[in-house]
Amino acid sequence: MLVAIVLAFAPALAEAKAGSGSSMGSRGSKTYTPNTAKPIERSITPPPAAAPAPVYTPAPQPQAAPLAAPAMRQGFFERHPFLGGVMGGFIGAGIGALLFGGGHMFGGGMGGILSLLLQVALAVFLVRWAIGFFRRQAQPGTVPMSDFRPNAPVAASAPASGPAVTPGVELSSSDLSTFEGLLNGIQTAWSVGDIAGLHRLATPELAGYMEEQLRENTRKGVQNRVEQVRLLKGDVLETWREGTVDYATVSLKWSAVDYTVRMGGTDLVSGDATHPSESAEVWTLVRHLNGPWQLSAIQQV
């Protein structure tokens, strides 16, 4: 009965294999780029920020000049004093002829009245003609309207950051053998609690995550053991270079005897200490200039 209770709570006590079934670590600029595995759940690499929205830069609007007070409209005779004087002279001469009985210029009697009317009509004609003439001279010419071209929105481009990414890094057979050796070495260091070994085979970030998990297992009083590790299939998914750093992402299918026991004893907590089980993961390995390959990220499939 006690054994059944312990086995029922086994998942809460410990997670098997190095990494405890998590997707964690960093893959350089591709940390959050989707691939065939589950996305990274824990990483020191910040997630990419959303692309900046286009910023509209309006053209500067000219300031309107202050409106001047409307000027009083001048009368015709104020705007054209010469014509006013001519017309006034005609009318005055006619009135004088009527009052003083004739005159050599206009005649007398009925003839004088007719002469006055003719002079007035002539004056009106001259005034109208002059008004039309001056209006035609003062009318401004028509200015053709230019094409209206609205300003297009200007997108604010984000400055480029980080080293240039070069796809494709040639891997040798020695590199592939190193990857298989890392699989065995990391699982062995994990099984015996070799913290220094994990920091030698993995990046400081990933080794730090594994160290936290080992300390948590120690707090719970359990130890996970991964033995008889055997690579069943390995495929290179992608390789790339960022500056002087090489990256390789590989798909690994491997088997191992994976089980958890009580710390310092042999009491089985979870797993099978006799028969191997299979695991499928995607590993990303990193190599700095003239340095060894190290495990940088683990992703579950």
Residue 229's CATH number: 3.10.450.240
Whole-number Cα distances in Å, 75 to 72, 84, 86, 147: 9, 11, 16, 40
Question: What's the pTM?
Answer: 0.60
CB 295 within 8 A of CB 281: no
Any domain includes 63? no
Give the DSSP letter of residue 243.
Answer: T
Kind of pairing between the strands at 268-271 and 277-287:
unpaired
Name which of 50-64, 78-92, 98-112 the model is least confident about: 98-112
pLDDT band at 17 (very low <50, low <70, confident <90, very high): confident
CB 198 within 8 A of CB 190: yes
Mean pLDDT score across all residues of the chain: 78
**Domain tally, the chain:** 2
pLDDT value of residue 130: 72
Any domain includes 51? no
Any domain includes 9? no
> Of 4-18, 91-105, 138-152, which one has max mean pLDDT?
91-105
- Coil, strand or helix at 166: strand
259 versus 266: the higher-pLDDT residue is 259
Going by C-beta distance under 8 Å and a sequence separation of 6 or more, which residues neighbour residue 244? 163, 288, 289
pLDDT value of residue 124: 73
Q: Residue 185 belongs to what domain range?
A: 14-42+165-300
Give percent above pLDDT 90 in the chain: 51
**Structure-block tokens of residue 52:** 């900046």
Kind of pairing between the strands at 277-287 and 245-262:
antiparallel
Is 120 buried (19+), middle (13-18) or exposed (0-12) by CB count in 10 A? middle
